[in-house]
Amino acid sequence: MGEYPVYDDGVYDAFDVRDERFRAYSEAIAGAAAGRVVLDIGTGRDALWAVAAARAGAAHVYAVERQPDAAAQARRTVSGLGGRVTVIEGLSTAVDLPTRAGVCVSEIVGNIASAEGAVTVLADARQRLCTTDCLWIPFRVQTWAAAVSLPAGGRLLASESLPYVEKVFAAVGRPFDLRLCLGGPAADLVISSAAPVESLVFDHRRPPPDADGTATARLTVDVDSARMTGLLLWSRIAVSSAASSREIDSLTGDTRGWAPVYVPLDPTEIRSGDHLEVTFHRRTSDDGIHPDYHVSVLAPSVEEPLVWSSPHHGGVFHESALHRELFPS
Ligand SMILES: C[S@@+](CC[C@H](N)C(=O)[O-])C[C@H]1O[C@@H](n2cnc3c(N)ncnc32)[C@H](O)[C@@H]1O
């Protein structure tokens, strides 16, 4: 959902939960904000990180939010903080600040880490809105991949997701094979080793991550034999570079902020010790912010690579058997 402007109270309520995501961000902000100008990109309805930064003694906080209703509510939320937080409505890529920020906080990390546009949005902030020695929260986001076997049957769209599916189709202008996340204990379905296919580090001492990129990963099957039905892609978030900071793993972690993306592939028999070569392409889409993805997988039992394409602005509808099953009409 985060790729599309479909946030509502139900989503913002989920972000308010005092979970691993909340604790990691709160600790990182408490350690970085004092005395500095802070930019909070995508402050959301409750301006969580802007309030945390002001309470931690930030010199000033600029909180930018693209959704007008959320920006208006955020402005009400920060009104009791003595003018130390300025809420700016708009896309961060289209606003200017009166002064550059020394800390940039954002939580525009997708279920595929780059999917909400973090690479392009934070590159723009680095160039125009932040100081050259800016501290970045989060510090590193990654996408990991592993092979999975999803049992046939019993697969349903979660009923609470249906209004958002409609909104995503409306945002794109038509139905398409949208990215799907697995609920439930997805880690139990994994049948191979796991490896990163994206690793995006935000650090003033290094060049910014490239907007477009290709990575390959080698996975080793670690069950006797199985029917591989697809891959899981999930994010890992190192909120701060401090040694004490724990990395959030969205596959196993205690957070509702993210869920693993299921990549359906043509089912393929695989055996223990087989190597799978995963190639992951990220390319900025036609909106200049959100990436399109293309994944291909080579397995010993297939001659042609198994492929998955997931453009940001849709692509086709009903191409995958899973989408035909879940969206019968
Ligand atoms: C995942 S929510 C996070 C909200 C809050 N910061 C938190 O972590 O709970 C992402 C928010 O960023 C906003 N957003 C995404 N990209 C943005 C951008 N480039 N400029 C301003 N707002 C953005 C969305 O509308 C949404 O409110």
Which residues share a beta bridge with 225?
A: 271
Of 105, 139, 173, the residue that ends a domain is: 139
With 90 as the cut, is the pLDDT of residue 329 above it? no
User: Does any domain span residue 73?
Assistant: yes
Report the pLDDT value the prediction gives residue 153, as an integer from 0 to 100: 80
- Ligand 1 pocket test, candidate residues 18, 38, 41, most atoms within 8 A of CB: 41
Report the pLDDT value the prediction gives residue 91, as an integer from 0 to 100: 97
**Over the stretch 194-246, which tens digit does the pLDDT of each residue have?**
999 999 999 999 999 999 999 999 999 999 999 999 999 999 999 998 877 77
Do 230 and 158 lie in one domain? The reply is: yes
Under the banding of pLDDT at 50, 70 and 90, the label for residue 315 is confident
Torsions phi, psi of 258, nearest 5? -140, 160
Instruction: Output the residue whose Cα is nearest ligand 1's atom 24.
Output: 42
Q: Which of 231, 239, 233 has the alpha carbon at shortest distance from 291?
A: 233
Ligand 1 contact via 141 beta carbon (within 6 Å)? no
Under the banding of pLDDT at 50, 70 and 90, the label for residue 253 is confident
Q: Which domain holds residue 82?
A: 9-139
Which residues share a beta bridge with 61?
A: 38, 85
**Over the stretch 136-188, which tens digit does the pLDDT of each residue have?**
999 999 999 999 999 988 788 999 999 999 999 999 999 999 999 998 789 99
Q: Tell which wins on pLDDT, 232 or 5.
A: 232
With 90 as the cut, is the pLDDT of residue 20 above it? yes
Under the banding of pLDDT at 50, 70 and 90, the label for residue 259 is very high
Report the pLDDT value the prediction gives residue 282, as an integer from 0 to 100: 98
Do 120 and 212 lie in one domain? The reply is: no
- Ligand 1 pocket test, candidate residues 16, 62, 66, most atoms within 8 A of CB: 66
**Helices 48-55 and 20-32: angle between axes, nearest 10 degrees:** 40
Do 320 and 193 lie in one domain? The reply is: yes
Judged by DSSP in three states, 130 sits in: strand
Of 83, 117, 139, the residue that ends a domain is: 139
Q: What is the DSSP letter of 299?
A: -
Computed over every residue of the chain, the mean pLDDT equals 95
Q: Are residues 62 and 134 in contact, defined by beta-carbon separation less than 8 angstroms? A: no
Do 193 and 111 lie in one domain? The reply is: no
Q: Which of 28, 42, 98, 86 has the alpha carbon at shortest distance from 62?
A: 86
Instruction: Output the residue whose Cα is nearest ligand 1's atom 16.
Output: 42
Q: How remote is the CA of residue 88 from the centroid of ligand 1, in Å?
A: 12
Q: Of 49-58, 85-94, 97-106, 255-264, which range is least confident?
A: 255-264
Ligand 1 contact via 3 beta carbon (within 6 Å)? no
